Structure 1
Amino acid sequence: MAEHDDEWEAGLEDDSSAVLRAVSRQIKLWREAAGMTQPELGAAIGYGEEMVSAVERGKRLPKPEFLDGADQALGADGKLSAMKEDVKQARYPKKVRDLAKLEAKAVELGAYGDRNVEGLLQTEEYARALFVQRRPAYSEEEVDRNVAARMARQQILERQPTPTFTFVQEEVTLRRPIGGRVVLRQQLEHLLEVAQLRHVTIQVMPTACEEHAGMMGGHRVLKFADGKTLGHTEAQLTSRLISDPKEAQILELRYGMLRSQALTPRESLAFIEKVLGET
């Protein structure tokens, strides 16, 4: 199995629960060794007994300030604070972390969005509005976790050396008021801002366009320095990495055709500005 396949297969099961159990166990052991009760630890670090209990039972991931405070209050000499990076990674869903790893290695990334604005281009408010609408409903913590993960992925837009990013957005994604009119306006303004980056190209596929190579749905194409090309698709409950060269080539072909059928980058920015003015 190829290297990229190994990374994705390892992400089929979310391993954050194992990290959560390990961290919660250590906090409890250090607290008991220090002879402190949960209320006493909470009072020492500025958290309620209920939060301390939830962390020790593995129901809540501790924030960095919780770990730093507990480390100092319990005399852990940096051992609890050292877990912050592990907790930070576990805070994001496993599949998202693995997708982010692939994105970080890609030298070219192309994405066609047919339902909503591509995740790498979303504002925090837009992303939150999307996750709030999920059914079955997410808890507040799950919403926060997924939003934080999506925002963290966007760091690759500032990566050096800069990869090449191209995006094709269906017109409807620019008009559907996800989160309301204000959130949509902020999202459109953000698209115009990101499009100013020299390594980012955004194109719009107008609804009126008769020729359309993307009728099978949204997809992404990732290219790597070793010449390998991967595809990625999402539909309902499935998220699929496409590593078969023939299938990846089909997605690459479709994406190339989409870009040729869509408005040019200059026309697209003018179109987004027009939609913004109408919103």
Structure 2
Amino acid sequence: METAEEDFTPADNEGGGGGGSGEGGGVVAAFGKQLKLLRQRAGLEREAFGRLVGYSPSSIASFEQGRRIPSPRAIEKADRVLDAGGVLIALKDEVARAQYPPFFQDMARLEAKAAHLCEYSTLIVPGLVQTPEYALAVFQQQRPLLTEEVIEERLAGRLVRQEIHSRRPEPLLSFILEESVVRRPVGGREVLRGQLEQLLLFGHKRNVDIQVMPIDREDHAALEGPFTTIETVKGQRFAYTEVQGSSRLFSEYVKIQELSACYGILRSQALTPRESLAFLERLLGET
């Protein structure tokens, strides 16, 4: 299991899929084998074990055969029930990352090592600051439709990503959101209200800056679309772009400098963090 101090090597710096699916599948298969061995050591049949952790025997079989990814909560409960001494919990983060789409798995590993992350968003609230209700609505609206099982897995993975907020030392996070992002009622008005409240909470944290790009701005440095830049705790720098399920992870100095400069200009064109919080408060009052 990697630590935050290790250098990061992407599977494919410029590829559309990253190559994480094989790695993720291997982790899930290894977890399943470990789970089965521990269950058998405890002398529990699948039905009895399922009752103790709240899953059907068929679900337990799917976990053990690597066909279904258990949620972090299920892993923690299984570890306690089987008296595994943390063996299963030690794999929790790696198993959770396997829940991401293959094209995002490299980026998920990279986020976990971020010392400084900047994200410009044009369509939805960034995943790192989404509420569970908002994230659920996003997954439910994806086309082609996702199965309920995949939605559950993706939602669990999204919440694991947000553990970055409890890391110490805290990473520096900057988000620039188009005005349309914070006005679009994804999931309905109540979901949007909850999301706006969460953005305000995050925006008051010392390590988080949230800025809104007003729709009436004449100058705009990022009309080519959304992107993310990341600097890891080891000083490695990357840039990430994604559209329609395809992604590119850049490690080239020239491209990273280009996008970093673009982000800096964009910050000067958007509302300041203080102005943005005032804007979000007004919008919350109108919603």
Structures share fold, TM-score greater than 0.5? yes
Give the aligned partner of residue 152 of structure 2: 144
Change (3 A) 1:30 1:198: closer
Paired residue type of 1:84? I
Residues 1-279 of structure 1 correspond to what in structure 2 (within 5 A)? Answer: 3-4=7-8, 6-9=9-12, 12-14=19-21, 15-28=23-36, 37-42=45-50, 47-62=55-70, 63-64=74-75, 65-69=77-81, 71=82, 78=84, 82-92=87-97, 93=100, 96=104, 98-224=106-232, 227-279=235-287
Mapped partners of 2:282, 2:48: distance in 1:
58
Q: Distance in 1 between matches of 2:275 and 2:44?
A: 65
| TM-score (ref. length: structure 1) | 0.84
Q: Give the unaligned 5+ runs of structure 2.
A: 1-6
Q: Determine which structure has more spread, i.e. the larger CA radius of gyration.
A: 1
TM, length-normalised to structure 2: 0.82
Relative distance call for 1:108 and 1:140 in structure 2 (3 A) is same
Give deviations 1:189-231, integer Å, cap 9, x for gaps. 1111111111211111011111111110011112345654321
Q: How many residues align?
A: 269
Deviation at 1:265, TM superposition (A): 1.7
Q: Using a 3 Å threshold, how does the CA distance of structure 1 residues 91 and 222 change in structure 2: closer, same or farther?
A: closer
After superposition, what is the alpha-carbon deviation per residue over 1:110-138, rounded to whole angstroms, capped at 9, x for unaligned? Answer: 11111111111111111111111112222
Shifted more, 252-261 versus 22-31: the winner is: 22-31
SS in 2 for 1:211: coil
Give the RMSD, CA atoms, in angstroms: 2.7
Q: Deviations over 1:127-156 (max 9, x none)?
A: 111111112222222212222222222222
Distance in 2 separating the partners of 1:96 and 1:139:
19
Counterpart residue number, 2:4: none
Higher RCO, 1 or 2 (CA under 8 Å, sep at least 6)? 2
Structure 2 distance, partners of 1:91, 1:227, is: 25
> Which runs of no fewer than 5 residues in structure 1 stay unpaired?
73-77
Distance 1:220 1:52, change over 3 A: closer
Change (3 A) 1:60 1:262: same
Task: Specify the SS of the correspondent of 1:169.
Answer: strand
